[in-house]
Amino acid sequence: MSQSHEQGLLYGLDARIGPVPAFFAALQHLLASVVGIITPPLIIGSVLGLQAYIPYLISMSLLVSGLGTFLQARRFFGVGAGMICLQGTSFAFLGVLLSGGLMVKARGGSPEEIMAMLFGCNLVAALIPILISRCVGPLRKVLTPVVTGTVITLIGISLIKVSITDWAGGHNARDFGAPGNLALGALTLLVIVALNRARNRWTRLVAVVAGIVVGCIAAALTGHLQLKAPDHSAALVLPALFKFGFAFDWTIFLPIALVSVIAVIEAVGDLTANCLISQQPIGGTAFQQRLQGGIMADGVSCLLAAIFSAFPNTTFAQNNGVIQMTGVASRYVGMVLGLMLVLLGLFPAVGSLLQQIPPPVLGGATIVMFGSVVAAGIRVMTQTPLGRREMLIVAVSFGVGLGVEAVPEVLKQLPPLINTLFGHAVTTGGLLAILLNMVLPEEARAVSVVPAKALSGSEEQA
């Protein structure tokens, strides 16, 4: 048992954990994130007409996610945050990658040429987080607690939207919002909450897995789950370096580069929340080193993604909620998680089975995890009392960011690039928070002056 138990953690960041509890803890991270990892290559492949390569793209996404997650947890030579930092493709990249791919396709490019261009531009863009990681000191002056907390909270709110959609049945589901879907999600959530509040540490450790298993059993009994045999022809998929070649175009690169900068801002928020939940300081030299190593590892992960034909990787927020729920922050779980993802990439049949978990079950399981991300953001934001200036930053950032995401049509008459970049709450709200924090002057702090006579009197009484 970790010494962090009295702080609400079963296993602290550097606590050694046995193979069995490590497996179950890692499995819960995997179940909470596997759909988010495989969805970007699935969407990009479908839209750009890369259907023949989608299984390979999914396998490489899982493989690179595992390598990046292991690197973040293991922390080689200062590269990595030394925490459970799950890696995956941010949905912020989808718009610019699809635009770039469609541009190549309009020129008559083949599927192989489309991927050569995308992965080539991604390879160069991977240098951006690596360079930014060397400037973490000045970056921390811009990303104050109120800014970082705002970004974390917006990330959590955006993720909750995904959970609720899954809970109701998933995108384009014919029975969206059906009582049966809502009941499955509610049952999953109820099991997770009940087990999480139990006194036995093992029940808390397996709460998410148990909730998903119970939900899947209920789904099978009610006809919501019908397992299908894996459709992959190859039992083992081996990675290849630059499988589709290398190409580069400044027109396609610049939007990807801009999103890479925005992804760093998101990563800072995710890493800060991870530190907070893992009972680590969110200030000082140690925190700065974690930020530097985490952002650097994001860049290295993006390099690996481009080399092995996967899309850009950044730190996911999903696993922060799992740490909160399980009470397991041990970075050794991150290493086990990384190895599990690598195996899923090499043996796609297992990943194919995990993809069949009904969306309502996943929605019920992830809603409380993503809600924990929102709570972590509020905790960061309120580290210091919020004055009128800070309240104004939060109000404008939340109002505009959430407003744009709720009514995306407000940007439809602007250039497509603007629509793509600023159509998300995290991007718009995060950049607004940074801008306002830099522009609005600091308020003068009122200093209370105690009369000398009163002071001396109190000293005498003491």
* Global pTM value: 0.71
How much is the pLDDT for 100? Answer: 84
Burial class, 250, CB count within 10 angstroms (exposed 0-12 / middle 13-18 / buried 19+): exposed
Per-chain mean pLDDT for the chain: 82
Contact 317, 160 (CB under 8 A): no
pLDDT, tens digit, for every residue of 292-336?
A: 999 999 999 999 999 999 999 888 876 777 888 778 889 999 999
What does the angle CA 206 – CA 179 – CA 153 come to, to the nearest 5 degrees? 55
pLDDT at 232: 55
Residue 150's CB is within 10 A of a number of other CB atoms, namely 31
- Residue for token pair 């509610």: 186
What are 77-103's pLDDT values in tens digits?
Answer: 889 999 999 998 876 677 678 878 888
The pLDDT score that the predictor gives to residue 115 is 92
Q: Which residues lie closer than 8 Å to 364 by C-beta, 6 or more apart?
A: 167, 184, 185, 186, 187, 188, 189, 192, 211, 215
* pLDDT of 151 higher than 90: no
Region 41-57 average pLDDT:
80
**CB-based contact 69:297 (threshold 8 Å):** no
Report the candidate in 123, 149, 160, 147 with the shortest Cα–Cα distance to residue 313: 123
User: For residue 8, how many other CB atoms are within 10 A of its CB?
Assistant: 11
The pLDDT assigned to 237 comes to 83
Q: Does residue 5 have a pLDDT over 50?
A: no
How large is the average pLDDT for residues 209-225?
86
- Whether the per-residue pLDDT at 254 is higher than 50: the answer is yes
Lowest mean pLDDT among 134-138, 170-174, 445-449: 445-449
The distance from CA 213 to its chain's CA centroid, rounded to whole angstroms, is: 23
